């Protein structure tokens, strides 16, 4: 990891928003990190340093906050970017999967022609909670013949054990709550 990233400063910059998006949920708000150009750049650099340990062909970003990091990393690492979006947001023929979230149900989609069999990918999102969203994205990649090399998250809610749902895949997160 890059020595330029102060993890205590990063963690202190993440706001806690109680009862959002619904009662009983403590939301970890990363927008203060995004507003700090130096801190945001350091997060991108730390992600890139970790990702450089793997041979990858594409960067997959999960809607919506995964889109914040993924294109910046695709640019920095000179890789393509593929969005995994909520149902009905992609214009071409898609493959979809239904999954459970910590507070509901959802459907994710990817374009059927987004990757070729054998392509190695990194899947990025802002936060790992129960692992349902990341697992669904991996399922889509694997059904198209891709191989997930690594999951990357800024925040991991370790007490929800989402990492367990990702099986044997490699997982990298900068900040963990509830270790």
φ, ψ for residue 96 (rounded to 5)?
-135, 160
Q: d(Cα 71, Cα 73) in Å, to the nearest integer?
A: 5
Q: d(Cα 152, Cα 156) in Å, to the nearest integer?
A: 10
Q: d(Cα 99, Cα 174) in Å, to the nearest integer?
A: 25
pLDDT, residue 87, reads: 96
Q: What is the pLDDT of residues 92-114, one digit of tens each?
A: 999 999 998 766 789 999 999 99
Mind telling me the catalytic residues? 65, 102
53 pLDDT exceeds 90? yes
Question: CB count, 10 Å around CB of 11?
Answer: 15
Tell the CATH topology of 7-177: Rossmann fold (3.40.50)
Paired with 16 in beta bridges are 28
Banded model confidence at residue 22, pLDDT cuts 50, 70, 90: confident
Q: d(Cα 100, Cα 105) in Å, to the nearest integer?
A: 5
Contact at 8 Å (CB) between 74 and 60? no
- The domain ranges of the chain are 7-177
Over residues 154-176, mean pLDDT: 96
Q: d(Cα 34, Cα 15) in Å, to the nearest integer?
A: 12
Nearest alpha-carbon partner for 40 in 2, 77, 5, 70? 5
The structure's pTM equals: 0.94
């Amino acid at each position: 990891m890059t020595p330029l990233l102060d993890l205590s400063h990063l963690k202190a910059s993440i706001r806690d928003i109680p009862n959002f998006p619904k009662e009983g949920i403590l939301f970890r708000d990363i927008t203060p990190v995004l507003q700090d150009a130096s801190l945001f750049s350091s997060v991108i650099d730390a992600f890139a340093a970790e990702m450089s340990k793997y041979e990858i062909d594409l960067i997959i970003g999960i809607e919506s906050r995964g889109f914040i990091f993924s294109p910046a990393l695709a640019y920095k690492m000179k890789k393509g970017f593929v969005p995994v979006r909520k149902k009905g947001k992609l214009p071409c023929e898609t493959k979809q999967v239904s999954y459970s979230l910590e507070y509901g149900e959802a459907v994710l989609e990817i374009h059927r022609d987004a990757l070729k069999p054998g392509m190695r990918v990194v899947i990025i999102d802002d936060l790992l909670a129960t692992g349902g969203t990341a697992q669904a994205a991996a399922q889509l990649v694997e059904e198209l013949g891709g191989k997930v090399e690594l999951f990357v998250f800024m925040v991991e809610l370790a007490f929800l054990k989402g990492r367990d749902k990702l099986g044997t895949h490699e997982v990298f997160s900068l900040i963990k709550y509830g270790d």
